[in-house]
Amino acid sequence: MQALKLVKHLTLAAIVVGSMAACGILPEKVDETASWSTNKLYSEAKDSFDSGDYTKAAKYYELLEGRDPFGPHAQQAQINTAYSYYKDNEPAQALAAVDRFIRLHPDSPSIDYAYYLKGLINFNDDLGLFGRFSGQDLSERDPKALRAAYDSFKYLVEHYPTSKYANDAALRMRYAVNAMAAHEVHAAEYYYRRGAYLAAVNRAQTALQDYDQAPALEDALGIMIKSYDKLGMTELRDDARRVMEKTYPNSGYLTVGRRIDNNPGDKKSWWQIWR
């Protein structure tokens, strides 16, 4: 009985509050920035940005862009909005902001940074706060974002080779290629373990064709050798083995049928350089 009375009271309270809101009796939330000048808004946004409060920084920069889209701070506000969302682990909003900047300001002095930032956003996509500390291997993720990151970094390196971001972009391109090759090899291993040897060969061949000189290609060749052997395709097996002997003469696949780890104590993966 007591519980029933409590439910009735709560329901009545909800109805009263809803009615007050509908009639405009409840005070509306005040926009603290309404009376700010654009210079004041930019200053507050910059202070939030510099102090690492990226949620507030993104909000203020977006307000500034909306109020004064052609003002002296508009371009900087747009690129800082993208970076703020990136740092706040909001990749979709960050990409939307940086794409808008690239579309509106293709001749901006900061355009090289915009492409670099776009690459970074995709490079770290889906890692989020927990992924950064969980030891997640880039090669175990959906490679779509890595491909987009690679394309942005490649555009930067090719069109702005003297940019201060070009060297780091080139490094990240290499790591993205390695990760995408390893992703194909993971898939090939999956199919091999389940006896789908033809599918394993196809995924291994994709890695070999698309990602020249990536570290994972030794494993791709190894899977091809073993898969062709299981399929009874001895001629193709021997062809793959000859390529292995020429490319990786010391490979463990030629002796024990698997990769030999020459540095078992080194557990740091190649992709962890930025973690």
Domain that holds residue 91: 38-105
> What's the DSSP call for residue 27?
P
pTM of the entire predicted model: 0.74
- In percent, the amount of the chain with pLDDT more than 70 equals 77
Q: How confident is the model at residue 14 (pLDDT cuts 50, 70, 90)?
A: low
pLDDT at residue 33 tops 60: yes
Cα(167)–Cα(163) distance, rounded to whole angstroms? 8
Taking only the tens place, the pLDDT of each residue in 198-241 is 999 999 999 999 998 898 999 999 999 999 999 999 999 999 99
**What total number of domains does the chain contain?**
1
Is residue 1 assigned to a domain? no
What residue type is 253 in one-letter code? Y
Q: Is residue 74 one of the residues assigned to a domain?
A: yes
CA dist list (Å): 110 to 92, 102, 164, 268: 21, 9, 11, 34
Q: Is the dihedral of CA 274, 128, 263, 185 positive or negative?
A: negative
pLDDT digits 0-9 by tens, 76-119: 999 999 999 999 999 999 999 999 999 999 999 999 999 999 99
**274 has a pLDDT exceeding 50:** no
Residue 101 is part of a domain; what is its CATH number? 1.25.40.10
Comparing CA positions, the residue from 71, 68, 171, 80 lying closest to residue 119 is 171
Residue 256 resides in a domain = no
Distance of CA 69 to the CA centre of its chain: 29
In a domain, 111, yes or no: no
CB 181 within 8 A of CB 211: yes
Q: Which residues contact 260 (CB under 8 A, 6 or more apart)?
A: 251, 252
Cα dihedral 259/262/264/270 (nearest 10): -80
- Tell me which of 23-32, 58-67, 94-103, 185-194 is least confident: 23-32
Is 113 among the domain residues?
no
**Does 156 fall in a domain?**
no
Decide if 245 is inside a domain. Answer: no
In a domain, 188, yes or no: no
